[in-house]
Each structure stands twice: as C-alpha cells, then as structure tokens.
C-alpha cells in the first residue's frame, strides 16, 4: 500500500494505491493521526487505486471519524471501486460515511 | 479440486493467503464482487488467528486447505495455538456506537458471518480448526 498526499489551503487529499489489510492499515492510521490533519476542512480519500479493503482498513476510518466530526473536518471518499464499496455496503458503513463518485463531487461538498 | 498452503503467523502473509484463495477460484465464473467477498472472509479469519490466537508468533504456522467442488467453496484453517480460539459470542456490531467510541476493531467477524454460508470453529485433536463454506451459484 502506497499513500501519497497533496494539500490545498483547506483540503487534504490522500491517494491510496494498493490493498488495505491488517498489515498495511498501520500506514493509513499513521497518516490520519497526524495532528495537522485536523487543520483541514476536508480530508478526501482518493480510492481509484484502492484494490482491496478489510476490516482493519475500515477500522482505521471508523476510529478517526468521530474526532474528525468533532473538529469540523469532513471525511469524503471518492472514485471507489465497486468491489471495495461493496465491503462498506455489507456493513452498512456506506450510510455512515460519505462516498461520492468523483473528485468534483467530493470537492463540492 | 483441492489446494493447500502453509503460512507462518505474520501479517505480511495475508497477501499470500488472498492470492491463494483467488488462484483457487480462477476457473469458476465468479463476479469480481463474489470473488472479493470470499477472499475477504478468509483474510478476516486468518488475520484473527495470526494476531489474536497466535500473537503474531512467526514460529507458529497456519495450514489452509481449500476444496472447491460442485459449486461449493470450502476452506479449513488449522492452527496449533495452545488455547482454542473462537471469536467472542457474536453480536451485531453497533457501528454508530463504534464511531462514537473511536473503536478500531470488531467488524471483521460481522463481515465473515454475512458473507459465508457456514462458519465453524472447532478443535480436532491438538489443532484448532476453522471451516468456512459458501455456495458459488
């Protein structure tokens, strides 16, 4: 799993490349735990190259969501592959997290 | 068709397990979604056994045996952990509460139970065995 990031004044975008499992989810947790993450109004997760997610990856997002909400930071997923979105849907997480088709829509929220 | 794999108890071997399951189902006409679900369910159980049952002790190993026939996928996962590992009594995860608490774990078995048709944790001699089954039609 490779994570790259780019930031504008109010938006941090994390690009996930690869598979998010119990081994690689530590990398994601490290990124989302950085204090500066809470300085942004939006944290966008580009999932175009995210090929797989397990409960470990979901758990990282679940564990940060409340803190983001409390800090007024919107967490938004976009460009998610169907098989990855299906994992969110199995748990009903797609109704608790914001998932949109494109970066344009993510930026517009 | 049967396939077998032995891995040491390291998180780094989860990818090996996923590829093993994927390869065993290559010749079956599954959608990407179906295949991903089965791979995910196995990954979840193996991760639990590596991390919780065997404490990520790389001197320990898991043996996996896949049997795919008559449109049915079955996998047995054997481990030698001293104590019998069984996920604590299953309760539907309260996701809004998990989010409020900032809880990092606890949804893996929910995925396994929703994806697979049958999930069994038993002992067989000195080994612990997890068996997962799913119809492919």
Arithmetic mean of pLDDT over chain B: 92
Give me the residue spans of the domains in chain B: 2-135
Domains held by chain A: number: 1
**CB contact A58 to B (< 8 Å):** yes
| Distance in Å, alpha carbon of B53 to nearest chain A alpha carbon | 15
- CA-nearest residue of chain B to A1? B15
Q: Which of B131, B16, B18, B127 is nearest to B72 (CA)?
A: B131
> What's the pLDDT tens digit per position in B80-125?
887 777 776 677 899 999 999 999 888 999 999 999 999 999 988 8
> What's the pLDDT tens digit per position in A49-108?
999 999 999 999 999 999 999 999 999 999 999 999 999 999 999 999 999 999 999 999
Residue A88 placed within a domain:
yes
Question: What is the per-residue pLDDT for B88?
Answer: 64
B106–A64: do the CB atoms touch at under 8 Å? no
Name the token pair of B27.
């010749």
> What's the pLDDT tens digit per position in A10-44?
999 999 999 999 999 999 999 999 999 999 999 99
User: Domain residues for A47?
Assistant: 2-103
Chain A residues with CB inside 8 Å of B14's CB? 21-23, 54
Distance (Å, rounded) from C-alpha B48 to C-alpha A16?
Answer: 24
Q: Which of A11, A88, A10 is nearest to A47 (CA)?
A: A88
Please state the length of chain B: 137
Q: Which of B107, B109, B136, B117 is nearest to B33 (CA)?
A: B136
Dmax of chain A from CA atoms? 35
| Beta strands A11-20 and A42-53, pairing class | parallel
Residue A73 placed within a domain:
yes
Name the token pair of A1.
């799993």
Name the pLDDT band for B59 (thresholds 50, 70, 90). very high
Size of interface A-B (CB pairs under 8 A): 91
Residue A108 placed within a domain:
no
Question: What is the per-residue pLDDT for B126?
Answer: 87
pTM attached to this predicted model: 0.95
User: Residue B2: pLDDT above 80?
Assistant: no
- The answer to whether A1 and A51 are in contact (CB under 8 A) is no
- Looking at residue A85, which CATH number applies to its domain? 3.30.750.24
A52–B110: do the CB atoms touch at under 8 Å? no
User: Residue B4: pLDDT above 80?
Assistant: yes
**DSSP secondary structure string for all residues of A16-34:** EEEEESTTTHHHHHHHHHS
Arithmetic mean of pLDDT over chain A: 97
A52–B103: do the CB atoms touch at under 8 Å? no
Architecture of domain B2-135: 2-Layer Sandwich (3.30)
Chain B residues with CB inside 8 Å of A62's CB? 95, 98-99, 102-104, 107
Is the reported ipTM for this assembly greater than 0.90?
A: yes
- CA-nearest residue of chain A to B47? A22
Question: What is the per-residue pLDDT for A79?
Answer: 98
Question: What is the per-residue pLDDT for A86?
Answer: 98
């Amino acid at each position: 799993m490779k994570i790259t990031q780019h930031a504008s004044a109010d938006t941090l975008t994390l690009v996930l490349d690869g598979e998010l499992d119990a081994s690689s989810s530590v990398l994601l947790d490290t990124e989302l735990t950085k204090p500066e993450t809470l300085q942004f109004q939006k944290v966008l997760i580009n999932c175009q190259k995210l090929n797989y997610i397990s409960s470990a990856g979901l758990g990282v997002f679940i564990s940060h969501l409340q803190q983001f909400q409390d800090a007024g930071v919107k967490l938004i997923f976009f460009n998610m592959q169907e098989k990855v979105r299906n994992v969110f849907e199995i748990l009903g997480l797609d109704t608790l997290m914001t998932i949109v088709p494109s970066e344009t829509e993510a930026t517009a929220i | 068709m049967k396939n077998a794999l032995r891995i040491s108890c390291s998180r780094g071997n989860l990818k090996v397990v996923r590829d093993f399951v994927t390869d065993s189902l290559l010749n079956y006409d599954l959608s990407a979604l179906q295949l991903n679900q089965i791979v995910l369910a196995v990954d979840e159980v193996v991760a639990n056994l590596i991390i919780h049952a065997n404490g990520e002790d790389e001197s320990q190993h898991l043996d996996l045996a896949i049997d795919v026939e008559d449109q049915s996928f079955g996998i047995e996962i054997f481990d030698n952990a001293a104590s019998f590992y069984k996920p604590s009594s299953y309760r539907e995860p309260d996701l809004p509460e998990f989010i409020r608490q900032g809880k990092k774990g606890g949804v893996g078995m929910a995925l396994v139970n929703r994806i697979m048709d049958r999930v069994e944790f038993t002992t067989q001699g000195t080994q612990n065995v997890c068996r997962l089954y799913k119809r492919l039609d």
